[in-house]
Amino acid sequence: MRQSYLFTSESVSEGHPDKVADQISDAIVDLFLSKDPEARIACETLTTTQLVVLAGEIRCKGVYENGAWASGAEEEIEATVRNTVKRIGYEQEGFHWQTFRFENNLHGQSVQIAQGVDASGNKDEGAGDQGIMFGFACDDTPDLMPATLYYSHRILQRMAEDRHAGTAPFLEPDAKSQVTLRFENGKPVACTAIVVSTQHAKGYDQGEQEAELHAYVKKVVADVLPAELLSADTVYHINPTGSFEIGGPDGDAGLTGRKIIVDTYGGAAPHGGGAFSGKDPTKVDRSAAYITRYLAKNIVAAGLAKKCTIQLAYAIGVAKPLSLYVDTHGTGTVGDDKIEAAIAGIEKLGGMTPRGIRTHLGLNKPIYERSAAYGHFGRAADGDYFPWEKLDLVDDLKAALA
């Protein structure tokens, strides 16, 4: 393991076009799960200049059954989409929540996929697709996340809060951040570079107004990052192209699932390839990625390792995972094979089948739109929200490994 190096992660704001698409897709997931906890949803969203398009496969009692929409369902879907864009804050000529053109191309789930996933007779509920999923945790930050991503997210969260509160009226919804840290002995010791590109009001690309925007961004960075990481040697690139008035879906088309590294670990850990947003929790792309994060976080919190990567693999229609892999990167206090055996023996995890994961974490609830911006991981567990961030498996792991 390298001990001295530079590492960088990026984040994007809720107004980034791909994140607009993710939030719309997850708003649809939440809408359907609020009607039917067993709903099946795979909702993809395209955003571009004055246009939002939905596509995908669904099944939902009281909303879409037997190939037909229930009365008022399509209108409720459109209202959900428009309200999501309104919440983000788009009221621009090139993308306005009231006036964009909307297309709903959602249709029924394939019966051949459904027969593989649904429980029947002696067959348990199967995985919604094949695939590999990874979870990760490390002791860089209190939330056990990679520091570079942790700070990248929080810079943009703070800017969005200020924008919504009206204390930074020159900000518009679209933004990106990037944080580069220098690590010594595996720990972050200095921030060498900060990149922030933010959509702005007219005129904030020159003169005193540009200086005001730059000073504001530096103040946010100083509030978010620990003071000991920043110095006169930290290099700032703030709106390095000069002007960023045209942004959001008007500046660049957005698609669900294009920011999967932002959603997970900022490149500090492997990614299985599947996106989360727009999918109900029978899709192991989502639920198994959540349980692996939950396991990795609890392992690190239990003091069993300083860093942990976990992989699960599934076959479509098959309930039990094909493999479980634990890697503590040489930081474990016990053997990785012993941790694997301990996980496999914890009964309340339900064998990490799709049903077991959903039951243990309580995933059949409308809890997903909140996760669709600023990362699915490293967030505070809050009631039904972000249950995969709970540390309620620590004692079980310690007992299993005693």
What is the DSSP track for 9-41? EEEE-TTSHHHHHHHHHHHHHHHHHHH-TT-EE
pLDDT bracket for residue 362 (50, 70, 90):
very high
pLDDT the model gives residue 402: 87
Q: Within 10 Å of residue 39's Cβ, how many Cβ atoms? A: 23
Selected residue with higher pLDDT from 293 and 65: 293
Domains and CATH numbers, the chain: 5-12+151-247 (3.30.300.10), 17-117 (3.30.300.10), 131-139+259-264+282-400 (3.30.300.10)
At residue 225, does pLDDT exceed 80? yes
Report the Cα–Cα distance between both ends of the chain, in Å, rounded. 28
- β-pair partners for 5: 183
Note the pLDDT of residue 118: 63
pLDDT digits over 16-39, tens only?
999 999 999 999 999 999 999 999
Is the pLDDT reported for residue 121 higher than 70?
A: no
**What is the mean pLDDT of the segment spanning 315-327?**
94
Q: Are strands 235-238 and 187-200 parallel, antiparallel or unpaired?
A: parallel
Cβ-contact 339, 304 below 8 angstroms: yes
Q: Is 123's pLDDT higher than 70?
A: no
The four Cα atoms 272, 277, 278, 283 give a dihedral, to 10 degrees, of 40
Question: What is the pLDDT confidence band of residue 382, given thresholds at 50, 70 and 90?
Answer: very high
More confident: 308 or 1? 308
Percent of the chain whose pLDDT exceeds 90? 90
* Contacts for 165 with CB less than 8 Å, ≥ 6 apart: none
pLDDT at 117: 65
- For range 188-198, the mean pLDDT: 98
- What integer pLDDT is reported at residue 126 of this predicted model? 73
Q: What is the pLDDT of residues 88-110, one digit of tens each?
A: 999 999 999 999 999 999 998 76
- What residues form the annotated binding site? 16, 18, 44, 57, 109, 174-176, 252, 258-259, 275, 279, 283
In the prediction, which pLDDT does 369 show?
98
Residue range 236-253: mean pLDDT, rounded = 96
Amino acid at 2: R
List, by residue number, the catalytic residues.
16, 18-19, 44, 57, 176, 244, 252-253, 258-259, 279, 283, 285
pLDDT band at 66; cut points 50, 70, 90: confident
How far is Cα 275 from Cα 258, in angstroms, rounded to an integer?
8
Q: Under DSSP, is residue 355 helix (H, G, I), strand (E, B) or coil?
A: helix
Rounded Cα distance, 210 and 292, in Å: 44
Q: What amino acid occupies position 94?
A: G
| Residue set of the binding site for L-methionine | 57, 109, 252, 283
- How confident is the prediction for the chain on average, in pLDDT? 95
224-233: average pLDDT:
97
Least confident of 57-71, 333-347, 385-399: 57-71
For 57-70, what is the mean pLDDT?
91
Question: CB neighbours of 387 closer than 8 A, spacing ≥ 6?
Answer: 294, 361, 362, 363, 367, 381
Task: Over range 327-338, report the average pLDDT.
Answer: 97
- Please tell me whether residue 93 adopts helix, strand or coil conformation: coil
CA distance 379 to 373: 11
**What percent of the chain lies above the pLDDT cut of 70?**
96
CB atoms near residue 119 (< 10 Å): 12
H helices present in 96-146, as ranges: 111-117
| 304, pLDDT greater than 70 | yes
Residues annotated in the binding site for Mg(2+), as ranges?
18
Two structure tokens written together for 146? 């990679």
Q: How far apart are CA 142 and CA 124, in angstroms?
A: 38
Assign 120 a pLDDT band (cuts: 50, 70, 90).
low
Measure the CA–CA gap between 393 and 344, rounded to whole angstroms.
13
- Supply the pLDDT for residue 82: 98
Report the predicted TM-score, pTM, of the whole model to 2 decimal places: 0.95
* pLDDT, tens digit, 9 for 90 and up, residues 204-223: 999 999 999 999 999 999 99
pLDDT at 61: 92
pLDDT category of residue 122 using cuts at 50, 70 and 90: low
What pLDDT was estimated at residue 227?
A: 97
Q: Which residues are annotated as a binding site for ATP?
A: 16, 174-176, 252, 258-259, 275, 279
Q: What is the dihedral of CA 209, 211, 216, 217, to 10 degrees?
A: 120
